[in-house]
Amino acid sequence: MDVEESIIRPLQRGDEEQIIKLFDEWFPVKYPPEFSYQICRYPGKYQTKAIVTKGNKILALMLGQFEYGVQVEQPAWSMTKRKRGWGDHYDTAFHILLLGVRKELRRQGLAKKLMDLVIVDCIQQKNTVLIYLHASVANDAAIKFYKKCGFIQSHPIRALYKFGNGRYGDAFMFVMEIDKPYSFCTVL
Ligand SMILES: CC(C)(COP(=O)(O)OP(=O)(O)OC[C@H]1O[C@@H](n2cnc3c(N)ncnc32)[C@H](O)[C@@H]1OP(=O)(O)O)[C@@H](O)C(=O)NCCC(=O)NCCS
């Protein structure tokens, strides 16, 4: 598959059927098809970055959203050095909701490429101080990946996921603080 000639773009109309199949392959949590239609046609608050071949084959996808102070899950703030609280309304976090790479293309740096872009976006967004996400305690590849990227891992959170087989699974939260360079741009 033409990874070298791939581009990165948001999801778009026409990607829906691929996304439904990929979500089925990638995630034990079952997402309704309506969700795939929504993120391809009316993304609204969701930010998507897909690595796509010239022929529009989706190779990898990251989906997340920016959240403001009170919307951010409190444990994420508690894991930061500054111990922000729900009262810090102007601090924003980027919450990664989904990340997946086609099986045959794993361990080639595609997920890392998407993560690097998200980090750059967050550095450029003045108030974004945090990236966070959850991963199943059983997802060894994801845990290793997030640790390699520099995320800090929480204690297990009980029964966060409901899987397609009706069972519940524990998860870790992963948090990365975004260091903002001090701003010298005040004009006196
Ligand atoms: C987790 C996932 C997104 C990683 O994607 P990827 O493109 O293979 O990851 P990368 O190639 O960018 O990996 C970067 C680094 O992370 C670590 N890593 C990634 N997958 C790993 C694995 N299976 N075992 C050990 N380390 C791994 C390695 O340090 C790797 O660097 P290296 O290959 O130079 O050693 C992919 O395995 C996947 O799609 N899994 C199914 C969906 C899923 O579980 N998503 C996460 C939900 S929270």
Mean pLDDT on 67-86:
80
Architecture of domain 7-177: 3-Layer(aba) Sandwich (3.40)
Q: Whose CA is nearest to atom 23 of ligand 1?
A: 141
| Confidence band, pLDDT 50/70/90 cuts, at residue 117 | very high
Phi–psi pair at 46, nearest 5 degrees? -80, 140
A 10 A CB-CB count for 46 gives 17
Q: What's residue 84's pLDDT?
A: 66
| Confidence band, pLDDT 50/70/90 cuts, at residue 184 | very low
Q: What's residue 182's pLDDT?
A: 46
List the one residue out of 103, 110, 16, 25 whose CA is nearest residue 56: 16
Q: Closest ligand 1 atom to the C-alpha of 108?
A: 11
Mutation probe of ligand 1 site: the residue of 51, 98, 99, 107 with most atoms within 8 A of C-beta: 107
170 C-alpha to center of ligand 1: Å?
Answer: 20
pLDDT tens digits, residue range 121-173? 999 988 899 999 999 999 999 999 999 999 999 999 998 898 888 899 999 99
| Confidence band, pLDDT 50/70/90 cuts, at residue 86 | low
| Confidence band, pLDDT 50/70/90 cuts, at residue 85 | low
81 C-alpha to center of ligand 1: Å?
Answer: 27
Please list every protein residue whose CB sits less than 6 Å from any atom of ligand 1. 26, 99-101, 106-112, 135, 139, 141-142, 144-145, 148
148 C-alpha to center of ligand 1: Å?
Answer: 9
| Confidence band, pLDDT 50/70/90 cuts, at residue 51 | very high
Q: What's residue 49's pLDDT?
A: 98
- CB environment 47-86: b (16+ within 10 A), e (fewer): bbbbbbeeeeebbbbbbbbbbebeebeeebbebbeeebee
Q: Whose CA is nearest to atom 1 of ligand 1?
A: 142
Mean pLDDT on 33-48:
96
The half-sphere exposure of 131 on its side-chain side, counting CA atoms within 13 A, is 24
List the one residue out of 123, 107, 176, 103 whose CA is nearest residue 146: 176
User: Percent helix, strand and coil across the chain, each rounded to 5?
Assistant: 30, 30, 40
Q: Strand ranges (DSSP E) for the chain?
A: 7-9, 47-52, 58-68, 92-101, 128-136, 152-153, 157-162, 168-177
| Cα angle 119-123-126, degrees, rounded to a multiple of 5 | 140
130 C-alpha to center of ligand 1: Å?
Answer: 21
174 C-alpha to center of ligand 1: Å?
Answer: 15
Round the average pLDDT of the chain to a whole number and report it: 90
91, pLDDT greater than 80: yes
